[in-house]
Amino acid sequence: MDMIADIFLVAGALGAAFYCFVLARRLTRFNDLENGVGGAVAVLSAQVDDLTRTMEAAQASAAESASSLGQLTSRAEDAARKLEMLVASLHDLPAQDSADDDPGPAAAKPEPFVSRRVAGSRGH
């Protein structure tokens, strides 16, 4: 009976060893960097790094654009204030009648058109 128990014990140990061998091979293929999940994880990690660098560059560009836009906005506001002051100063000027000061070419009297015939040139 001891002999049968020892045979079952050895068979169980051999079965466990075979099971561990199969699991080790599967785990090796699973973590393979070219075909397995390890490769997929490596590729995804590289993509995350690329996206992180791209995001940082985009944020820097957006900050630069925001700064430039802020400067342009302040310049536009200054120009608008100056234009408002100019328009307000134009309202303060007295009205000028252009007809009294400068009649211009349209208001000048036209010279009469006179045509003269030379004597003796009646019928060519």
Whether this model's pTM surpasses 0.75:
no
DSSP, collapsed to helix, strand or coil, labels residue 108 as coil
pLDDT per residue rounded down to tens, the chain (124 residues): 899 999 999 999 999 999 999 999 998 888 777 777 777 888 899 999 999 999 999 999 999 999 999 999 999 999 999 999 999 888 877 777 655 555 556 666 767 777 777 666 555 5
* Confidence (pLDDT) at 12: 97
- The encoded tokens of residue 79 equal 């120009």
Which residues are within 8 A (CB) of 35 and not within 5 positions of it... i.e. 6 or more apart?
29
- The encoded tokens of residue 74 equal 């302040």
Domain boundaries, the chain: 9-91
